[in-house]
Amino acid sequence: EAAEQYLDAVAACLKDENASVQCAACAALQKHGKAGEAEVIVVVQYLKHEDWPTRRAACQAMGDLGQAGVRHLGAVAVRLSDSDEDVRAAACEALGKHGGAAEPHLGGIAKCL
């Protein structure tokens, strides 16, 4: 796939100091639908970022990273009680994309309804 050749550059952007660049890198990984463990760990760290757009982007990315994201669903579930409603919504959607793997977090999702 043509996008494969750019994954290293996207991974480098994950470590950028600018929150907008971090969000864009999360979105690129989300659209690509896969990432290595090192990239997933950075995205998981962004779930705790001080800026809500970065937390939202991290949730959105985690929803589309397949098996790489499943191991970190607990970190996504923490965002179900985020102070920002867009982050809470993104966390719900991300967990929903993981189907049965997110079953332990159904109570948290229900509280968002």
Query: Which pTM value belongs to this model?
Result: 0.84
Given a contact cutoff of 8 angstroms between Cβ atoms, the answer to whether 39 and 64 are in contact is no
pLDDT recorded at residue 54: 94
> Helices (DSSP H) in the chain: which residue ranges?
7-14, 19-32, 37-46, 52-63, 67-70, 73-78, 85-97, 106-112
pLDDT in tens, 70-101: 989 999 999 999 999 999 999 999 999 999 99
pLDDT in tens, 38-75: 788 889 999 999 999 999 999 999 998 888 889 899 99
Helices 37-46, 7-14: inter-axial angle, 10-degree rounding: 30
Burial 91-100 (b: 16+ CB within 10 A, else e): bbbbbebbee
